[in-house]
Structure 1
Amino acid sequence: MSLQNFLSRLDQLQSDAESAFSGASNAESLEEARVVFLGAKNGQFKDVQKMLGGIEPTDKRAAGMRLNEVKNAINDAFSAAKEALEGGGDSQVDPTFDPSLPGARPALGHIHPITQTIDHLTEIMGRMGFEVAEGPEVEDPWHNFVALNIPEDHPARDPLDNFYLAAAGVSSGDASAETGEGESLLRSQTSTVQIRVMKSRQPPIRIISLGRVYRPDAPDATHFPMFHQMEGLLVDRNVTMANLKTVLRVFANNYLGDDVEIRFRPSFFPFTEPSVEVDFLWNGTWIEFGGAGMIDPNVFEAVGYDPEKVSGFAFGLGVERLCMRRHGITDIRDLYSGDLRFLEQF
């Protein structure tokens, strides 16, 4: 028998066997097909294997290799068909499955509206050249009060208006014990960051700091004991109040919209002089969203700057109130309720 005829017979056997195995609809028909092709006594593969004896000696090596390949292919086809019928193969498809139906949408989380607001504020101020600076949330009285020109008898330092820490550890002879202050407190303003930045760098400085601050306020629609502030600081030569008003107006138009009405009211803060409060009109009511002013010379002296050579401004804006104005939220407590029905709207 010629090698070519032998190989053709093997190819035909492999094709017939694979077709028979894949077309078996149940275990009984698959077993019948196995006997036909792989039966030990009368299987077709056994018959073809016997033909190997009639092959020329010089062709037996190639014929034998092809015979083994076909045998392995037929066995693999039988195993795959058997696995599919038993439900373990990928080809087994659930008859109730409809690929045209939409799939189940996975439950994905998303960014909290406060974090979204912080990212947006950072992007807006970044376009005006402000870089982000960070500082600790647990501060000492020097950074939180003294360096900001807030005297010991100022109401802002009242123990009832701050979250002092480790107050029990202050000795009776310590000066801080006389004022009721502890050695550290949760920062009541992000202005502490501007002190740390000015202590470590020389002008020009143009930074913002966004983070949590803490005050023991009774929660209501517009107040919460923990909230977020954006502190801005610009220090250079020949900085004026006109620069401050321009920055705040550009910021308000970018974040709140070109149609927003804002106003500046004269005010007082120990660390700025002159000082203003900034309001925006919302639902017919003026809402305060921050304070600002030109940095007091005493603050410059506390960080080692010469107030005769440099000037600057600072502002602090309430992140929650900006977020509420943008999204039409009327109660700050909703932002911290953890109610997914509310948070999933953003």
Structure 2
Amino acid sequence: MKERLVQLKEEALQQLQDVSNPQTLNDLRVKYLGKKGALTEVLRGMGSLSAEERPQVGEVANQVRTAIESIIASKQAAFVAEETNRRLQAETIDVTLPGKALATGAIHPLHKVAEEIEDIFIGLGYSIAEGPEVETDFYNFEALNLPKNHPARDMQDSFYITDEILMRTQTSPVQIRTMQASNGETPIRVICPGKVYRRDDDDATHSFQFHQIEGLVIGKNIRMSDLKGTLLQFAQQMFGADTKIRLRPSFFPFTEPSAEVDVSCAQCHGSGCRMCKHTGWIEILGCGMVHPRVLEMGGYDAKQVSGFAFGMGIERIALLKYGIDDIRHFYTNDLRFLKQFAKM
């Protein structure tokens, strides 16, 4: 049996030495080392050997197996290295070619403007308050001095879900909720950002859904001059240090007196141009002193405290800040439009 093992080793090594491809190498491995291979067949005859012969034959068999496995491993490594070199030659990369830039995301211009507005008012000591977008008629209208059948309700064509539930038409309900939650404590300084909904024309300057930020200050001896100073500070930080503002008398049911606020045109600096319709001024928001009835609905004594409120559309501010002529650009997800703001 020893002679057969030695013969088997010489035969296998001779055939393995001449192998030229991985498939032939694997076939020879199975032929000599497989479960039905030549070495296994020889070892099956060990049962007929004496107890003294078995260790000697077993040692020779291990030497044969080790020799065959060694040359197979050497050949496999050579074939792997050869295949790797071949693939490297076939897949050579031209490092002089320009690379492909990865597309990166950016903050949407409306969110960018909203964050900028929030940062300005946070720097002035305000905090952020939020509330539900699906609101009750009480908080959206009645608590804001707009009782049932009030003619001013016609100013806001609303999305009603039931007779008493609707999509909020403004973020003003958050002001009432904030006042009620404060239990009459002062001061209050909050801004209320969020989406609002109105049945409106879908054109260059209107949308059925848009974004607002409203502000509310409640305390003792709050005056109209405090409101004007606050809005001047905001306008100068948002549009530039040389920005001027003016207040024009207006009407809002929840403030008295009320005013519309204009800023000097950033394009022409007040001299008149197409953007400001040659007036030198552009309207940006509405404001006023909180109506005594609204204070009372919020749980305050209107004889002891006063306050002011203001509200602006974020889209309106963004249109002016970036010189955009159509509000619909913000909602179409056109990457050609959005990419312009990636590096701002």
Say whether the fold is shared (TM-score over 0.5).
yes
2:179 to 178, 192, 198: 198
Q: What corresponds to 1:302 in structure 2?
A: 297
Q: What corresponds to 2:140 in structure 1?
A: 144
> Shift of residue 329 of structure 1?
0.2
The aligned runs of 1:12-31 (5 Å cut-off) are none
Contact 1:189 1:214 in 2 (8 A): yes
Contact 2:130 2:192 in 1 (8 A): yes
> May I ask how many residue pairs the two structures share in their alignment?
266
Counterpart Cα distance in 1 of 2:101 and 2:74: 37
Partner SS state of residue 227, structure 2: helix
The aligned runs of 1:75-154 (5 Å cut-off) are 81-87=78-84, 92=88, 95-154=91-150
> Shift of residue 104 of structure 1?
1.5
Q: What corresponds to 1:189 in structure 2?
A: 170
1:325 aligns to 2:320 (yes or no): yes
Counterpart Cα distance in 2 of 1:266 and 1:151: 23
Counterpart Cα distance in 2 of 1:335 and 1:275: 30
The aligned runs of 1:115-264 (5 Å cut-off) are 115-158=111-154, 161-166=157-162, 182-201=163-182, 202-264=185-247
Counterpart Cα distance in 2 of 1:253 and 1:82: 73
Q: What corresponds to 1:23 in structure 2?
A: none
Counterpart Cα distance in 1 of 2:90 and 2:290: 73
Counterpart Cα distance in 2 of 1:160 and 1:274: 20
Unaligned runs of 5+ in 1: 1-26, 31-67, 167-181
Q: What corresponds to 1:339 in structure 2?
A: 334
Contact 1:149 1:299 in 2 (8 A): yes
Q: Deviations over 1:84-127 (max 9, x none)?
A: 432499x9365540234342122222211111111111111111
Q: Deviations over 1:218-238 (max 9, x none)?
A: 122221111111110111111
Q: What corresponds to 1:265 in structure 2?
A: 248
Aligned AA (1:92) = L
Counterpart Cα distance in 1 of 2:169 and 2:197: 5
Aligned AA (2:93) = F
Partner SS state of residue 163, structure 1: coil
> Shift of residue 81 of structure 1?
4.9
Contact 1:85 1:92 in 2 (8 A): no
Aligned AA (1:184) = I
Aligned AA (1:240) = R
Unaligned runs of 5+ in 2: 1-18, 23-65, 266-274
Partner SS state of residue 86, structure 1: helix
Partner SS state of residue 254, structure 1: helix
Counterpart Cα distance in 2 of 1:198 and 1:80: 79
Counterpart Cα distance in 2 of 1:93 and 1:247: 70
Counterpart Cα distance in 1 of 2:104 and 2:73: 42
Q: What corresponds to 1:59 in structure 2?
A: none
> Shift of residue 274 of structure 1?
1.0
Q: Which runs of 4+ in 1 moved over 4 A?
A: 27-30, 74-81
Q: Deviations over 1:203-245 (max 9, x none)?
A: 2111111111111111222211111111101111111111111
Report the identity percentage: 48
Partner SS state of residue 216, structure 1: coil
> Shift of residue 336 of structure 1?
1.2
Contact 2:113 2:314 in 1 (8 A): yes
* Distance 1:88-1:274 versus aligned 2 partners, 3 A rule: farther
Aligned AA (2:219) = D
Q: What corresponds to 2:276 in structure 1?
A: 284
Aligned AA (1:109) = G
* Distance 1:94-1:200 versus aligned 2 partners, 3 A rule: farther
> Shift of residue 277 of structure 1?
0.7
Aligned AA (2:215) = G
TM-score between both structures, scaled by the size of structure 2? 0.70
TM-score between both structures, scaled by the size of structure 1? 0.70
Which is further off, 140-149 or 150-159?
Answer: 150-159
Contact 2:213 2:313 in 1 (8 A): yes
Aligned AA (1:195) = I
Counterpart Cα distance in 1 of 2:75 and 2:257: 90
> Shift of residue 273 of structure 1?
0.9
Aligned AA (2:195) = R
* Distance 1:319-1:75 versus aligned 2 partners, 3 A rule: farther
Counterpart Cα distance in 2 of 1:244 and 1:209: 16
